[in-house]
Each structure stands twice: as structure tokens, then as C-alpha cells.
Amino acid sequence: MKPDQLPATKNAVVIVAAGRGSRMGTSDDGPKQYRSIGSHCVLQQTLSAFNTSPLIDLVQVVIHRDDLDLYNEFVFEHSKLAMPVFGGATRQQSVYLGLQALNDVKPENVLIHDAARPFVSPKLISNVLEAIEPSICVLPAIAVSETVKKAKADANTTWVTDTVSRDNLYLAQTPQGFVFKEIMAAHEYAASHDKHEFTDDAAIGEFSDMSVKLVQGTRENIKITTSEDLDFANNMNDLNHILKVPDIRTGNGYDVHRLVEGKAVILCGVEIPFNKKLDGHSDADVGLHALTDALLGAIGDGDIGSHFPPSDPEWRGAASDQFLAHACKLVRARHGIITHMDVTLICEMPKIGPHREKMRAQIAQICDVEIDRISVKATTNETIGSIGRGEGIAVIATATVVIQT
């Protein structure tokens, strides 16, 4: 997406992934940001944290010129993700190029984050964003808890030369947060003074006389620098997966349509010859309507009426499969996987049994879900009440969705 096509951007993030990782050792496995943690590479893990954050509108990655193929191989497209830009000779220059790429969009705030910190939490992202204010840089940091030594190495041994007081010492992390136009100006100021070696952006803010405010960082937000860090990150990732509660959501839907004089009913996408038809604004497929609502319920995104208002002439006589397909699209846009759908049709007539398998196949096709994850059941209302008198058909539906995090 080109910047001018993007909606108004409040919060953007620049992810710096242009480093060569010289401290990783002389391995042939490539730069550290493309090495894997679990099933994804480090950079993709980092990007997922920001892509899935509802507070972030735009993600700008800065990559090394030599890594474009790796980037295209390992990074998934996402609607928030701008085209990557190439970095410069130093981290500072890479960030500056990333900020320049946002200049057309001019976000209100910007976070600047190291690609090598894949365990940034949603809470840390929101804490940093919340703390941003004019003339203030926001820096997540953790207090130094270990005793700090100064040491010097000779040919064979490293010798302690001093013990440094750890009072008031903090370890700086990212994402660091800024008002976009202020950090942009600070970078311009540093470059105009031939300063190109700052290792973080809060220091560039300091150089421009901005104040730097600390927010609490997290121990998990480690920077992967060495091969040992990568092993540690893989262990941490495994543990996170074991401990993580899966994000499983269930939605239900209910619909009822009146039976009027006609020649056939359409139920779950299948036309069944009958001496009546279902009355309604679209094709009145009460089964697909209930299922659409169940999916929307699972993702908390309104109901069929709010997406397809019955007052809108566009939906007059419309085939209901498009409502269901749209709900599936909304689920997938939220990284949801539809794991199960269950429909119960309640009517005295027509008989559903002979059409059940065709209905399952129809739903499977519309939703692009395996047929063994779809259930269609039917019951009568034992001649009780309006449904029992055959005045209409009611449907209840349940959908289960797993949101990938």
C-alpha cells in the first residue's frame, strides 16, 4: 500500500532490521533477524507483536539491502505493513531512513523498535504509547540488579579494575516512543552535527535537549545478539507456547423466518422443493443467517443486520452465501481459524435429513472449511407454538474460532 492510500495514521512504528549481527559469530545461517524462533523468524515474531496491536496503525521496517530476498521469504504481508526501506551504514542512519519513509504519512507518534526484540509485550507497547508527550522521549528500561564490574582483558585473562555502583543504573530497551515530528527533527539535528553513531534514539533526543522519561521495561524483552541469546529465545518461546492459553472464541446465532405460499425453501444454501417459501428481504436462508451471526458473535463484530441492513435495497433477494463469506473474511482478517460450526434447524416440514450432507458441503464450500468441521442437525418443535404449527422455520447456530496470536 502506498502511504497516500493509508488512512490517517496516529501511531506508527519503525522496526530496525538492517543490522548485520556481527556478534552472532561466523555462522552461515544468515543475519539474526531471519533466524528462527519456533516456527517463525525473529523479525516476523517482532512484526506480529505490532501488526496485531490495535494501537498501531502503520509498521515501517528498515532492512539491509542484501536481505530483500530473505525478507520476502520470511515475512508475511499484512495490511499495516508498509514496503520495507533499505537502511544505512549505522543504526542511527537506518532509523533516520525509516522515519523519512513515514514523512508523507506524518504520524502523530512513532515508536522505534529493534527487530531483535521479539518478546515485546502488548502491555509494553501501550505503556510506551501512553507516556508520549511533547518534548519527552519515552524509554522502557529495567533497573540493573546485578553488581556491576569494570574489567580489562590482557593476553589470557580478564581482570576487574573497579566495582561500579549500580545505584541509578538502568538498561535501555525498545520500543522507544516519540512525537514523530520531534524525533524527526532530532535526527536531522544530530546528522547536521555529523553525529552518526548514537546507539539508541532516546540519546538522539537528549542531544537535542529533550527530556527522557523512563517506563518500566520487561525482563522478557531481551535483545537477541548472540547465538546463546537465540537458544535462550527458543527456550523462552517453547515455554510461552506451553503456558499460553489458546484464544478460543465461541459465538451463537439465532434466526427465524416466516413460511409463506411458494414452491421451495432455501436452507443452508440448498433449495428444497416445498409448497411454501421463506419470507424475507434476501433469499431468506435462515440457516446461513444464523451461522453468519454465530461467526460475527465469535469475533464480537456486530450482527448480520449491522453489516447488511435489511433496509438497503442492495440486499433485496440477495443470495445469503455472500453474507456468510463476508463473515468468514472478517474472521480471517483477525487471524481467526474457523474450527467448528454447528447448525440446528427447527421445523416440522420440510424433512431435512435427505438434504443434510448437501447442506454441509455447501457451508464447507462457502466458508472454505473442511466438511468434518461442519454439523447440520434438525429437530421438530413437537407441534408446539408457531414453529410447531409450521408458520416459520427457526435456526440456532454455533461457531468456534481460534484467534492466532
The residue (of 32 and 289) whose beta carbon lies closer to Mg ion is 289
Smallest distance from Mg ion to CB 314, Å:
16
Q: Which is nearer to Mg ion, 140 or 280 (CB)?
A: 280
What's the closest the beta carbon of residue 267 comes to Mg ion, in angstroms?
A: 12
Nearer to Mg ion, 369 or 394 (CB): 394
What residue number has its CB nearest to Mg ion? 289
Q: What stretches of 299-355 show up as alpha helix (H) in DSSP? A: 304-307, 321-333
Q: How many Å apart are CA 43 and CA 24, to the nearest integer?
A: 15
Residues 7-46 touching Mg ion, rule: CB under 5 A, are none
To Mg ion, the closest distance from the beta carbon of 384 in angstroms equals 22
Return the number of the residue (105 or 397) whose C-beta is nearest Mg ion.
397
Write the interaction track for Mg ion spanning residues 165-194; mark x where CB under 5 A is met and - where it is not.
------------------------------
Q: What is the closest distance, in whole angstroms, from the C-beta atom of residue 346 to Mg ion in the complex?
A: 14
Residue 370's Cβ-count burial label (10 Å; 0-12, 13-18, 19+) is: exposed
Choose among 197, 204, 166: nearest CA to 183: 204
Counting contacts by CB under 5 A, is residue 293 touching Mg ion? no
Question: Of 200 and 255, which CB lies nearer to Mg ion in the complex structure?
Answer: 255
Closer CB to Mg ion, 34 or 323, in the complex:
323
- Residue 320 CA, chain-centre distance (Å), reads 29
Report which residue type is found at 169: L
Q: Shortest Cβ distance from residue 177 to Mg ion (Å)?
A: 47
- As measured in angstroms, the least distance from the Cβ of 254 to Mg ion is 10
SS3 249: strand
Interface stretch with Mg ion, choices 51-59, 111-119, 261-269, 285-293 (CB under 5 A): 285-293
Residue with smaller CB distance to Mg ion, 120 or 278: 278
Cα–Cα distances in angstroms (integers) from residue 14 to residues 72, 180, 203, 319, 349, in the given order: 18, 11, 17, 44, 60
The secondary element (H helix, E strand) that includes residue 17 is strand 11-17
Amino acid letter for position 375: S
Chain centroid to CA 357: 35
Contact between 259 and 250 under an 8 Å Cβ cutoff? The reply is no
Q: Which grid coordinates are listed for 307?
A: 453489516
**Amino acid (one-letter) located at 297:** G
Nearer to Mg ion, 144 or 318 (CB): 318
Q: How many residues of this chain interact with Mg ion, rule: CB under 5 A?
A: 2
Residue 289 CB, nearest distance to Mg ion (Å)? 4
Instruction: Select from 112, 78, 101 the least CA-distant residue to 4.
Output: 101
Do 345 and 393 meet the contact criterion of CB atoms below 8 Å apart?
yes
Beta-bridge partner residues of 58: 12
Minimum distance from residue 224 beta carbon to Mg ion (Å)? 52
Q: Which of residues 219-278 bind Mg ion (CB under 5 A)?
A: 255
- Contact with Mg ion (CB under 5 A) among 187, 289, 355, 356: 289
| Residues of this chain that bind Mg ion (CB under 5 A) | 255, 289
